[in-house]
Amino acid sequence: MKSYAAVDLGASSGRVMVGRVGPDSLELTEAHRFANRPVRVPEGLRWDVLALYGGVLDGLRAAGQVDSVGLDSWAVDYGLLDADGALLGNPVHYRDSRTEGVAEKVWATVPAERLYAATGLQYAPFNTLYQLVAARDSAQLGAARRLLLIPDLLSYWLTGEQGTELTNASTTQLIDPRTREWSYDIASRLGIDLGLFAPLRRPGDPAGVLRPEVLEETGLRGPVPVTAVGSHDTASAVAAVPADGERFAYICTGTWSLAGLELDAPVLSEESRSANFTNELGLDGTVRYLRNIMGLWLLQECVRAWGDPELSTLLPQAAQVPALRSVVDAGDAAFLAPGRMPERIADACRASGQPVPETPAEITRCILDSLALAHRKAVEDAQRLAGHPVDVVHVVGGGTRNALLCQLTADACGLPVVAGPTEAAALGNVLVQARAHGLVGDLASGRRLLTRTQQLTRYEPRGDTARWREAQARLAGG
């Protein structure tokens, strides 16, 4: 039996989980969970990265003695270090407005079609590439000698060693998904210095050992190795989708919904680009072919505006509201920024001539119907664009705790949904560590282990999909 600490930082909370892995067992427990609260300062929206690091140290202390540590977090964001290796300012939040209007400038130098063909990444204003172009003339970037993506930054603080983990690097839009190496051509055309990045490392690679000061602070006995995992949380979550074979779609539901397929090669067609599908890199040469959907962020922001009512009260009320009265486009980047979410959702319904949801229950229902509809569209589009049919949809992440969302997703997709595990990213993180230490085999055998050991719930599709088709047409204006 071995124990692995999985540090998993989501946009809404961070957690340190402990995975105990035996030849035919995997048990996950939560050592520590802490809020991830972005902070608005005069310059814009920032991550409180020192608080997050403090949460990681608290978590490692609570975890107790482990055989290795792995870190994953949300994608695209980074910290800059100066020539002494010190952090230059708080990392900018991907929802910050600094990237507004930047894409158009980038496309004037490298057309969007060319960018997609070279990097396979969907357009999102926050891709690291656009963030770096937005920061081009800033004093901070001028003084920077190193750029570390968030999990790599925390790993550096834990170990003193620097690297750039590949799955997360693939979200920068500076990686070629065919060669799985840096795209020097794109970077040089946009004046981005790839020398800022530390050398690439891959899931399973050793990433140093905890520094003596970290051992002292956490009470752990050294040496404790840190192992590179799929450090993009979505890479780790997809590694923990308990699928059998290849004919499955997945939806990672949390702050975002990430809906798509696991493929063995990227899809770089023009049709795929205009449908805004991304090709991120996964474990063992796989590609995560998916679309970003605004996800439970829409609900998180409404709940915040309503003064934090309990979901256990709100969701049963939403279940009583008639289905599909009004839907919004849950893929619309207009919902990216924080603030005034109930009003923005009501405005979108009004603008498309639908009944305007008013009460928290009605707005919640509108959000869940809209998410299920966006899930349906992504699963349908992905199958068509990749020529890869599926029989089942796996839902993982925090949204698996929302039975209404899971059932609506099954109804909308017209396919069975298998929901679970909830802490998929942490489990994928643990599996990669266990594998690096010789305890688990390939991706498929890790998935079989999860199927045998984790709690999963199956939702069968109800009714026909005609009402969902009608709602989709309503959104498309048809």
Q: d(Cα 79, Cα 99) in Å, to the nearest integer? A: 17
Instruction: Answer yes or no whether residue 59 interacts with ligand ADP by CB under 6 A.
Output: no
How many residues make contact with ligand ADP (CB under 6 A)? Answer: 15
Nearer CB in complex with ligand LRH: 127/354: 127
234 binds, among ligand ADP, ligand LRH, none (CB under 5 to 8 A by kind): ligand LRH
12 binds, among ligand LRH, ligand ADP, none (CB under 5 to 8 A by kind): ligand ADP
Instruction: Answer yes or no whether residue 279 interacts with ligand ADP by CB under 6 A.
Output: no
Kindly indicate which of the ranges 6-14, 80-88, 262-270, 342-350 contains the residues binding ligand ADP, using the contact rule CB under 6 A. 6-14
Kindly indicate which of the ranges 62-70, 199-207, 219-227, 295-303 contains the residues binding ligand ADP, using the contact rule CB under 6 A. 295-303
75 binds, among ligand LRH, ligand ADP, none (CB under 5 to 8 A by kind): ligand LRH
Residue 364 C-beta: closest distance to ligand ADP, Å: 10
Query: Is 233 noted as a catalytic residue in this protein?
Result: yes
Give the 3-state DSSP-derived string for the chain, with helices as H, strands as E and coil as C.
CEEEEEEEECCCEEEEEEEEEECCEEEEEEEEEEECCCEEECCEEECCHHHHHHHHHHHHHHHCCCCEEEEEECCCCEEEECCCCCECCCCECCCCHHHCCHHHHHHHHCCHHHHHHHHCCCCCCCCHHHHHHHCCCCHHHHHCCEEEEHHHHHHHHHHCCCCEEHHHHCCCCCEECCCCEECHHHHHHCCCCHHHECCEECCCCEEEECCHHHHHHHCCCCCCEEECCCCEHHHHHHHCCCCCCCCEEEEEECCCEEEEEEECCCCCCHHHHHCCCEEEECHHHCEEEEEEECCCHHHHHHHHHCCCCCHHHHHHHHHHCCCCCCCCCCCCHHHCCCCCHHHHHHHHHHHCCCCCCCCHHHHHHHHHHHHHHHHHHHHHHHHHHHCCCCCEEEEECHHHHCHHHHHHHHHHHCCCEEECCCCHHHHHHHHHHHHHCCCCCCHHHHHHHHHHHCCCEEECCCCCCHHHHHHHHHHCCC
Determine which residue in the list 5, 7, 11, 430 makes contact with ligand ADP, applying CB under 6 A.
11
94 binds, among ligand ADP, ligand LRH, none (CB under 5 to 8 A by kind): ligand LRH
Determine which residue in the list 19, 399, 414, 428 makes contact with ligand ADP, applying CB under 6 A.
399
Residue 259 C-beta: closest distance to ligand LRH, Å: 11
Residue span 378-397 as binding mask against ligand ADP, x where in contact by CB under 6 A, dash where not: -------------------x
Residue 196 C-beta: closest distance to ligand ADP, Å: 27
Residue 239 C-beta: closest distance to ligand ADP, Å: 15
- Say if residues 62 and 32 touch (Cβ distance below 8 Å): yes
162 binds, among ligand LRH, ligand ADP, none (CB under 5 to 8 A by kind): none
Nearer CB in complex with ligand ADP: 215/321: 321
Instruction: Answer yes or no whether residue 13 interacts with ligand ADP by CB under 6 A.
Output: yes
Instruction: Answer yes or no whether residue 414 interacts with ligand ADP by CB under 6 A.
Output: no
204 binds, among ligand ADP, ligand LRH, none (CB under 5 to 8 A by kind): none
Q: Annotated catalytic residue: which of 233, 329, 381, 411?
A: 233
Determine which residue in the list 12, 138, 276, 465 makes contact with ligand ADP, applying CB under 6 A.
12
Q: Which residues bind ligand ADP (CB under 6 A)?
A: 10-13, 254-255, 296, 299-300, 311, 397-399, 401-402
Q: Would you name the residues annotated as active-site residues?
A: 233
